[in-house]
Chain A
Amino acid sequence: MSSRLRAALFAPVDTASLIAFRVGFGLLMLGATLRFVANGWVREHFLEPTFFFPYWGLGWIRPGPAWAMYGLYAVMGLAALCVALGLLYRASALLFFVTFTWAHFIDKTHWLNHYWLVTLVALLMGVLPLGRAGSIDVHLWPARRLESFPTWCLWLLRFQFAVVYFFGGVAKLSHDWLVHAQPLTIWLGAHGDFPLLGGWLVKKSFAYAMSWLGAAFDLSVVFLLLGRRTRPFAYAAALGFHVMTSLLFQLGMFPSIMLFGALLFFPPAWPRRLFARWLPPPPPPRPATGHEPANRVRGGPGTSHERRVMLALGAWALVQVLLPLRHHLYPGPLGWREEGFRFAWNVMLVEKNGSVDFVATEPSTGRRWVIAPEQYLTRYQAKMMATQPDMILQLAHRVAADLEARGARDVEVRADAHVAWNGRPSAVFVDPHTDLAQERDTLAPKRWIAPAPTAPPRL
């Protein structure tokens, strides 16, 4: 089994689809970077806020001044272009990974699943030898050219996109999604003027249909993309699904990235067929020895390199499978508590709206402050913070630190927080008696999150 798997993983595969992916991903990321800057998001995300919500353990990732942030995005865009061109490919891919990840790990306010996907794919691309064919690099250094890539390169990227779809589907196997058609009922209901379909979108039955279809699509599309006969239909369904969702919801680059990623499931030579006039035919098949000097990434069959690669692939796969499942370690509904919510492909599962004030007291004097989040946050940050417990805790700590810096002693901070979740009546979100200043920000379950409302959604 192991040797058969090894042989399969290290068998040569046509470079065409992976080169196409490299070029497409690089150009998409270049577009995304330019769009980010053009929309003023560098200023809005990094320069206007005075407080940021770092990820757990990553508080050292901070924004720089304006010149540094715009410089970061310039480097990011340039690196993306170099990835597409295959110029100094590996360094460019890693540079893109570092700059992109740095920027998007500054403030969890702006967490998006597809930013996480880009981070993962960029890291993988920094590891994969995708610049050793169809690139400027091989024109400059012909000795680096590979006639084929090891098959595991293709399957690693396929796996990464499969994880997004599949666990996105698993996440939809929830009570709210399947039984109450939430939050789609709320979201689709706001699109009554959508051309042609508007009259349908506002109907509860349509939300049910879309909820069930959406879950079925996410769970099955990878398998259907893998089947030769079902692949065209699956891709057409993906096209329809992503186009529809991008028209209804502001999803940025996500649909484009996923549609491009889905092309990886086509036979690796598909670009040669599509662009037969411009691309050479694939090289003739040769035994998969991996020893040919021009075709060797490193090592050969049965070498320690292969074992290391297989070990790394297994470890990567394990992490990718466990991360979306880690929320089972926490009590209560995921959508309410959001512990283990990020990095888990919980795509478009929750409609939460909250209102939070912080009540700070100095027990020794009885002084009392009521702090509105807007005193520290932009309106968008305040909106996002109001429904996410770890962000509420982070701001509570900042409030306490600020007051103590201004002379108050042993400040206690409590949150007056209410959240409406997936169409339910608003409910207390944080135990109003808990002094958040004393609560540490750890990965342990947060005992101060109020119980989730048990009433069903009223829509």
Chain B
Amino acid sequence: MIRSSLLASLCLAAALGCSSTDDEPTFDRNVAVASIVDDVILPTVTEAEAKAEALRVAAEALEAAPDQASLDAAQQAWRDARAPWRRSDAFRYGPVVDLGLVGAIDWSPTNPETIEEIAAGTAALDAAAVDGLGSSAKGFMALEYLLFDNSGDAPILAQLTDPTSGARRRLYLRLLADNLHQKLLQVSDAWARDKGNYAGALAEPGESSPVYPTTKKAVDEIVNQLVFQAEVVANAKIGKPFGKQSGGELVPAAEESWRSDNSLADIESTWRGIEDVYQGRSEGQDGAGISDMVAFKSKDVDSAARAAFAAAFAAAAAIPPPLRLAFSANPAEVDAAWNRGKELKRVLATDVVGVLGVTLSFSDNDGD
């Protein structure tokens, strides 16, 4: 009886399997993974490095001739460099983590006391000295401290042109920009196919990949990061300073780029990076991305995800900048953006992950 049941099951399985080998559509996830690497990740890390180089050049100009024009240029260069870096949040794995560079590039909050001590000090200040500084005295946020004051540029210019300390302050600023560029160059090189080739490791998963033995591992890595960054934006970048975790009391210090009032742009850039990966978007054109994998399984889920992105961007755009003031002046708009951010995270963490069979796991634990 049992044997005949098993035999029948085997026959059923064979029939089901054999009868439909060729008529069921399939989707090659490797294509989407490769597209994400080549059309999204590589251009973004390259752009981040190029914009950091432009910031370094602007910092040199500011060092040589500190005036309103050179300060404006340096500030704009900082904002320009910030955008691709924030978009790269969506793939904050691989080289930037393996090389331990996240803190050196972007550590918040800064330590103003340390920065002022260095700027006013007498110790040798050169590239090696800056490289040896702690994360709270270098990277994007230290540069922001030296370049921006949200009350206006006058105090910044006064510090940079101070007859006694201005030159050293400008030197420190230029060395910070140079150090930042070096770090982003390291990241870019490590990803580059003709150098560190992490791109190849991710884009061609399998036995030959030193990091991703299967396509599933690669997809898991990509999607896990999207979910995580969506969570970070909603909770840490909007919710926390907005007082969601503190009984409604605002926590201004938790806002990331408040000196430059670049926080909203940062948030939108991170969301944009997530969306770029999701849609495989390069230079404004959608390519093969996570969206295609999802749509192959469920067009409804893909539509829901795209709608969640659109709603999040619309909600962020509805906040009158700067975010620092909007927390008090426009709480309804901020609350809406926070809600849309949570919704985006929810759709990614439940529906998208659910249809892809992604292991939403942040460890290599066993299952049963």
Contact = CB atoms under 8 A, between A and B. Distances in A.
Interface of A: 39, 41, 44, 110, 112-114, 183, 186-194, 199-200, 202-206, 208-210, 212-213, 216-217, 220, 223-224, 230, 249-254, 347-348, 351-355, 357, 362, 367-372, 374-375, 378-380, 383, 386, 408, 418-421, 423-426, 458-459
B354 A423 contact: yes
Contacts of B245: 369-372, 375
A190 B354 CA distance: 11
19 contacts: A186-B356, A192-B26, A192-B27, A192-B215, A193-B214, A210-B13, A217-B6, A220-B2, A351-B354, A355-B346, A371-B245, A378-B362, A379-B228, A379-B362, A380-B365, A420-B354, A458-B300, A458-B301, A458-B355
B247 A353 contact: no
Given A190-B358, A192-B28, A362-B247, A353 B353 contact: yes
A191 B297 CA distance: 14
B214 A205 contact: no
Nearest to A407: B247
Interface stretch (B17-25, B101-109, B120-128, B144-152): B17-25
Interface centre among B9, B247, B298, B300 (most CB of A within 10 A): B247
Contact of B363 (A44, A205, A348, A352): A44
Nearest to A352: B354
Given A192-B29, A216-B6, A372-B235, A383 B368 contact: no
A254 B366 contact: yes
Interface in B261-278: none
B351 interface: yes
B216 A190 contact: yes
Contacts of A374: 231, 235
Contacts of B239: 370, 372
Contacts of A186: 354-357
B192 interface: no
B244 A369 contact: yes
A423 B355 contact: yes
Contact of B2 (A223, A347, A380): A223
A36 to B, nearest CB: 10
Contact of B351 (A194, A208, A253, A426): A426
B356 A190 contact: yes
B348 to A, nearest CB: 9
Contacts of A254: 366, 368
Nearest to A387: B350
B5 interface: yes
Contacts of B195: none
B232 to A, nearest CB: 9
Given A190-B357, A205-B24, A112 B349 contact: no
B127 to A, nearest CB: 36
A456 to B, nearest CB: 12
B48 interface: no
Given A203-B21, A224-B3, A347-B368, 7 more contacts: A39-B364, A205-B19, A250-B365, A253-B366, A370-B245, A379-B362, A426-B354
Contacts of B357: 183, 186-190, 351
Nearest to B7: A216
Nearest to B300: A458
A190 to B, nearest CB: 4
Contact of B368 (A114, A220, A372): A114
A377 B259 CA distance: 31
Nearest to A190: B357
A47 to B, nearest CB: 13
Contacts of A209: 12-14, 16-17
Interface string B199-242: 00000011000000011100100000000100100010001000
A229 B360 CA distance: 44
B363 to A, nearest CB: 5
B87 interface: no
A375 B236 CA distance: 10
Contacts of A112: 366-368
Given A189-B297, A205-B24, A371-B245, A380 B361 contact: yes
Contacts of A421: 354
